[in-house]
Structure 1
Amino acid sequence: MDIDRRRQEAAEYRRKPRLIEDSEIPESIVKASQHFINEEKESQKEKFAFESIGRRKRKEVDYSQDLMSDRDWLRSIDEDVEDDDDDEAESRKKRRGRKERGKKRRYIGDDDDEPPKRKRASPEITSVLNKLHEALITFKTSSGKQLAGAFEQLPSRRELPDYYEIIEKPMDLNKVKRKIRDGKYRSVQDMGNDIRLLCANARKYNIDG
């Protein structure tokens, strides 16, 4: 039915078939974007710290197991991220002490007008973001279909020129990966914003395309 409808729409409106249907947008990715926001709200008061990562064995999660539901998948991510927050309280005190001592060493004559440089993401944040990105990429349905496949790499401008006319800020999971690698995401929420943009772009193209 979907194939017939696509062909009919393409013939009637003289355009290429849709890149992806609304019904094909993985619910897990949509939910994950909200999950990222919730995680950031919980961790805003404290910075991520992983001083004891090497002292404990992480829970291994098989995101590709056939019978795992979207809810189970998100719960697995949530549990893994919460494990990484266990050491925050202890390290927060140490970091706060160092920060206060650093402030005392500043001189009044310092140039306060110079805009602060944007810092790269910490290795700890990068580790969390890589884990979440990998979870999105590898998650599969019970039939073995990789849900993120349509979002991993956008078609080129030559292959789908009308997409780039409709979508102002194209986004795919490969671009998200590059931004993680380059340290451009300083929080889970930053990455979540791009995941939401990715899903919004797919919906917009389906409606306007």
Structure 2
Amino acid sequence: MTDYVITPAHTPSIAVKGSDARFPLRRVFCVGRNYREHTREMGHDPDREPPFFFMKPADAVVPAEGVIAYPPLTSDLHHEVELVVAIGKGGVDISPEEAFSHIWGYGLGIDLTRRDLQAQAKKFSRPWEWAKAFDESAPSIPLQPVSAVGHPSSGKIWLNVNGEQRQLGDLADQIWSVSEVISHASKSVTLKAGDLIFTGTPAGVGALQPGDEVTAGIDGIGELRFTLGRG
């Protein structure tokens, strides 16, 4: 038995729909600008850029229910609704044709972003971590295995704030498909079981205020509802 100088942190995990078992989390990768209209609204060319990635800590994944805290250091917190892919089998240099065999299941999550800190980081060519990797920045619903939902390649993805539509798109609008995202990521790092991939967000991202109610969904995957805390 290994001795540690401090008590080790518990293993982060996410619920599995209809099961008491949980999916252990290792790393959380996020794809930037993977929908054409969102890429344009952020001021970039969707036809020239390969997929790129940033990361969140595994313990940023929290249940998308109840109250999610409004984070410190920002006055411009944005919502980004995303299809989440759970990796069940690791690999390196995975081909797009092989990618689906590495997927355990799918879910729905929100990439919360401190947009003002992100803009500052971009201005000074600094990393994005403080904009993306804060506490409770990835509220998500329970995962569902492939056996329950298949491999969704189309379907409505949406997000409302206080009942008003903000984001609306289709999974078919992704520039890089799920299999291509997995293949591309695995050329840079060895993917392993327990990794999550947030696959990008459609257009319509915008600011949230304390007290806002967020609802979102993806056809065939599920829906979420939470309230943003008042700090």
Q: TM-score range by the shorter chain?
A: under 0.3
TM-score (norm 1): 0.23
Larger radius of gyration between Structure 1 and Structure 2: 1
Task: Report which of the two has the higher share of strand.
Answer: 2
Task: Report which of the two has the higher share of helix.
Answer: 1
